[in-house]
A and B are shown apart, each in its own frame.
Chain A
Amino acid sequence: MDETRRYRTAECDRFELELDAYMDGEVRPSVPGHLRECVFCKVVFEDLTALRTAARELPLEEPSPVVWANIRAQLSAEGAFAEKGGVWSWFWQLDFLRRPVPVSAFACMLALGCWLTAPQNNPQTKTTASLPTSAGEPTVVRSMVFLAGGEGLEKAVRELEKAFKAREATLAPDVKATYENSLSSLDASIRECNDSLQREPGNSLAHEYLFAAYSQKAEVLSSALEIDEGR
């Protein structure tokens, strides 16, 4: 191999034209030969191979939870979701609906029997959530956030609130006051949205704001827990 040759040759030009096809698995007889002769093109080949390997191995990234929150709110506003709860919801999920007619007939009879015996499942009274306020005294309200698909988010906020209560004594008074004001503001919006949804379960704007308020509350609480005040 001629390592002293530092000039690009016509073979190098041809090599470069055929390199990508060679890397994609196509037969290019001149490429391996040139790689044996030209150390500089060999460097290029090794670099591009490393690059392609790294590109294939790039890990997947995670979007923030706000993405789903927005999608969910928009679809909900558009009426994309079938009505939750109700006695027929479990029925429609059963696979045997795809089987032949005789089985379907049996399914109808089974569904009727279940309807007669199953407990009432009214979404309006499905959950009675305990919603602690930022003052630390739980207020028992009917949380409508489940309508927005956010039961998990509400639970997460509760856990964060507990952690915040444990942490807040260590915060500087002015920092603590800022957090408490903001949490109070968010709690007020949660209460109002809950009230709206009690009266109008289909109020998409209230859905959106309720979900956003919980998300923002989670962010504010997380921020308070992460703060290190330079120590």
Chain B
Amino acid sequence: MSQQKTAAPKAASETQLVARAQRGDEEAFTALFEMHKRRVYSLCLRMTGNTAEAEDLTQEAFLQLFRKISTFRGESAFSTWLHRLAVNVVLMHLRKKGLQQVSLDEVDTSQDEPVKRDYGDNDRRLMGSVDRISLTRAIAELPPGYRTVFVLHDVEGYEHNEIAEIMKCSVGNSKSQLHKARMKLRDWLRQNEGPMTPGEPVTSDQAPTER
């Protein structure tokens, strides 16, 4: 599909672009979109696991951004503002879909499945590298709550206190959900990547706990 070529202003800093966009300069809108579209879209894609939804949400995030751009005062970096807005758009969407899992209340264990602890299974390690495509697929397989925390923390780099503020949960809960998300991803990747050494049997011993 052909790409729409835009005449990006030469050497315009983001601050200048924002100022021009606040005055309704279409070229500035276009340039800001081009600068940030991939980060916003990638965030939406990883949080929803669905390309069509991600495109809709990207659209919605930028529309909200451009409608509110006159209120941007520069207290934070523009990219931070945009990013937080995009996260909120995605979370609103997930809540509207009726996915209660997005709530990370301490008592909400509805999305919790037993996390396997294969302590007898030395052969099925990830061997120090994770295939990008497999990881993307694995993230999409996570329940929405786990997926949100993992994407925000490990992919996007948010701290737990920021996630707690965004998700309206406690820091402890955010940490706990992240751990479970990581373990689930690990399990999925081990199952779907198969044995790293050809010919090795794939076992999944559920070892008992010795006290």
Contact = CB atoms under 8 A, between A and B. Distances in A.
A and B touch in the complex (CB under 8 A): yes
Interface of A: 6-10, 12-13, 16, 19-21, 39-40, 43-44, 46-48, 50-72, 74-75, 78, 80-82, 84, 92-93, 95, 149-150, 152-153, 155-157, 159-160, 215, 218-219, 222
B30 to A, nearest CB: 7
B165 interface: no
Interface string B155-184: 101000000000000000001001100110
Interface string B98-116: 0000000000000000000
A40 B59 CA distance: 46
A150 B131 CA distance: 38
B186 interface: yes
B186 A48 contact: yes
B1 A51 contact: no
Contacts of B146: none
Given A8-B209, A82-B24, A82-B26, A75 B59 contact: no
A61 B179 contact: no
Contacts of B76: none
A201 to B, nearest CB: 15
Contacts of A149: 4, 6, 26, 30
B44 to A, nearest CB: 9
A53 B16 CA distance: 35
B93 interface: no
A71 B130 contact: no
Nearest to B178: A20
Given A6-B207, A70-B59, A64 B122 contact: no
Contact of A71 (B59, B125, B210, B211): B59
Minimum-distance CB pairs A-B, first 9:
A152-B5, A82-B24, A156-B2, A54-B130, A60-B38, A7-B210, A55-B154, A63-B41, A81-B26
A39 B178 CA distance: 23
Contacts of A66: 55
Given A55-B155, A58-B155, A150-B4, A7 B59 contact: no
Given A58-B136, A68-B4, A71-B62, A8 B210 contact: yes
A214 to B, nearest CB: 9
Contacts of A13: 209
Residue from A7, A19, A58, A149 whose CB has the most chain B CB atoms within 10 Å: A58
A82 B25 contact: yes
A47 B2 contact: no
Given A54-B130, A156-B2, A21 B37 contact: no
B209 A152 contact: no
B211 A62 contact: no
Contact of B154 (A56, A69, A75, A84): A56
A20 B179 contact: yes
B138 to A, nearest CB: 9
A54 B211 contact: no
B81 interface: no
A82 B66 CA distance: 13
